[in-house]
Amino acid sequence: MKNDSLAISIASGKGGTGKTTLAVNLAAVAGEVTLLDCDVEEPNDHLFLDVEWGESRESCVPFPRVDTNLCTGCGECRRVCRFNAVVVLGKQPLIYPELCHGCGACFIACPEKAITEVDRAVGIVERGTFREIELVHGRLNIGEVKGPPLIEAVKDAAAHNGRAAIIDAPPGAGCPAVEAVRNTDYCVLVTEPTPFGIHDLEVAVEMARQLGVKHGVVINRSDIGDDRAVRFCEERGITLLGQIPFDREAAEAYSRGELLVDALPKYRETFGELWQSIIKEARGA
Amino acid sequence: MKIAITSTGNTSDSEIDPRFGRAKFFMVYDDEKDSYEAIDNVQNVQAAHGAGPQATQSVADAGCGAIITGHVGPNAFNALKMAKIEVFTVESGTVREAVDAYKAGKLKAVDSADVEGGWV
């Protein structure tokens, strides 16, 4: 693998620990890089970058359409659906779009070939640039529940472009977070030293472990709680990549939508060093 | 006609279960034979999503023309409507009491979902 095409995911169990702050500021010091905002329910990386927007593309998932003239109501589609999305009532299949995962099992299973795939839009993928950053993000349609296919589309949009990628994952450790972290070369887990932070860090570490993604921890607002995050990393043998103390000026700059590395020059060094340690860890040196 | 009553147990003396999709049991009452039959709904109780539609499938497959339950969500309601299954609601009591109230014409049919999906 080429070093410059590393994919680094930024994740956390708990929301609000500083994933976005880390992602945008690392991107700003990383040189030529692709920043993928995979928090498709509420993408916000662009708020910190003066983005010149380019292409925008609708993202779709396959959805089954039943030809009622061909359907015999045999119920095979219902039997193979793992997601309880199909019921067959009065010899008529009824498919729930919000339950369908677009897996395609029913298309294959239908003995009458009565089911065809149609595209159902779930959101849009937008691209733009800011300085040396290429930003790609997804925006999930309102009311839509299936983020993972859109996250996959965001990640695909930047695959094989030869640049390093920073992937800002959604919070949690559910399907959307898993989709964002999956197949990345390294995962940076951002936490805060509070009971909530540690509890959810533990869940996030387990996610990264099960995905087989190498990972390390950054403790944000490292002086607001106690030393349990440090102890947690020591006990588990997890690399502690860095600690960022609470800083009122940084919080103010954030609230104005500014990059910390622009607003407060000392953070150029903080994030520059952090990026170097992440790259080093990701390369396995 | 057969009527499915959502139930916390597998006898006609069990308390009704106010949930439809995730009811523990469906007690199917056959008014021609005046008899009860229990359907275990364990599969739907554990389902991550889509319990309401699948529960509808179960009662439709059992040949029921009506259900008596506590509450019905929107997904279940659409499926029930499509299956032409009437919906009656009760607050509490046993399965047998619910059937007696139904037979006495004391239960009113409902014509829309009364709770959000996945309310319990």
Q: Check CB contact under 8 Å for B49 and A99.
A: yes
Question: What pLDDT, on the 0 to 100 scale, is given for residue A4?
Answer: 59
Please determine, for residue A90, whether its predicted confidence score (pLDDT) is greater than 90: no
Q: What is the CATH number of the domain that holds B95?
A: 3.30.420.130
In a domain, B108, yes or no: no
Q: What is the ipTM of this complex?
A: 0.79
Question: What pLDDT, on the 0 to 100 scale, is given for residue A1?
Answer: 37
In a domain, B110, yes or no: no
Question: What pLDDT, on the 0 to 100 scale, is given for residue A5?
Answer: 84
Stretch (H or E) spanning B3: strand B2-7
In a domain, B50, yes or no: yes
Indicate the pTM of the whole model.
0.82
Cβ-Cβ contacts under 8 Å, A92 against chain B: 82
pLDDT digits (tens, 9 = 90+) for B67-109: 999 999 998 999 999 999 999 999 999 999 999 999 999 998 9
- Give the mutation candidate from A66, A68, A78, A84 for the B interface (greatest B CB count, under 10 A): A84
In a domain, B114, yes or no: no
pLDDT digits (tens, 9 = 90+) for B30-63: 999 999 999 999 989 988 888 999 999 999 999 9
Q: Check CB contact under 8 Å for B54 and A88.
A: no
Question: What pLDDT, on the 0 to 100 scale, is given for residue A236?
Answer: 96
- For residue A201, report the phi and psi dihedrals to the nearest 5 degrees: -65, -40
Q: Check CB contact under 8 Å for A94 and B51.
A: no
Residue B119 or residue A188, greater confidence: A188
pLDDT digits (tens, 9 = 90+) for A238-252: 999 999 999 999 999
Which residue range is the domain that position B9 belongs to? 2-103
Please determine, for residue A285, whether its predicted confidence score (pLDDT) is greater than 70: no
Position B111 confidence tier, pLDDT thresholds 50, 70, 90:
confident
Candidate from A92-106, A126-140, A267-281 with smallest mean pLDDT: A92-106
Q: Provide the mean pLDDT of chain A.
A: 94
Q: Check CB contact under 8 Å for A92 and B82.
A: yes
pLDDT digits (tens, 9 = 90+) for A210-263: 999 999 999 999 999 899 999 999 999 999 999 999 999 999 999 999 999 999
Mean pLDDT of B14-26: 96
In a domain, B118, yes or no: no
Taking only Cα atoms into account, the Rg of chain A, rounded to an integer number of angstroms, comes to 21
Q: Check CB contact under 8 Å for A96 and B51.
A: no
In a domain, B46, yes or no: yes
Produce one character per residue of A41-79: b if its CB has 16 or more CB atoms within 10 Å, e if not.
bebebbebbebeeeeeeebbbbbbebeeeebebbebbbe
pLDDT digits (tens, 9 = 90+) for B60-78: 999 999 999 999 999 899 9
In a domain, B120, yes or no: no
Q: What percentage of residues in chain A have a pLDDT greater than 90?
A: 89
Position B120 confidence tier, pLDDT thresholds 50, 70, 90:
low
The alpha carbon of residue B89 and the mean position of all alpha carbons in its chain are separated, in whole angstroms, by: 9
pLDDT digits (tens, 9 = 90+) for A152-187: 999 998 877 789 999 999 999 999 999 999 999 999
DSSP string, A76-140: HHHHH-TTS-EEEETTEEEE-TTT-----HHHHH-TT--EEEEEEEEEEEEEEEETTEEEEEEEE
Question: What pLDDT, on the 0 to 100 scale, is given for residue A56?
Answer: 97
Question: What pLDDT, on the 0 to 100 scale, is given for residue B118?
Answer: 64
Mean pLDDT of A22-34: 97
Please determine, for residue A72, whether its predicted confidence score (pLDDT) is greater than 50: yes
Residue A145 or residue A138, greater confidence: A138
The total number of structural domains that make up chain B? 1
A78 touches chain B (CB under 8 A): yes
A53 touches chain B (CB under 8 A): no
Distance CA A13, CA A19 (A): 10
Question: What pLDDT, on the 0 to 100 scale, is given for residue A3?
Answer: 45
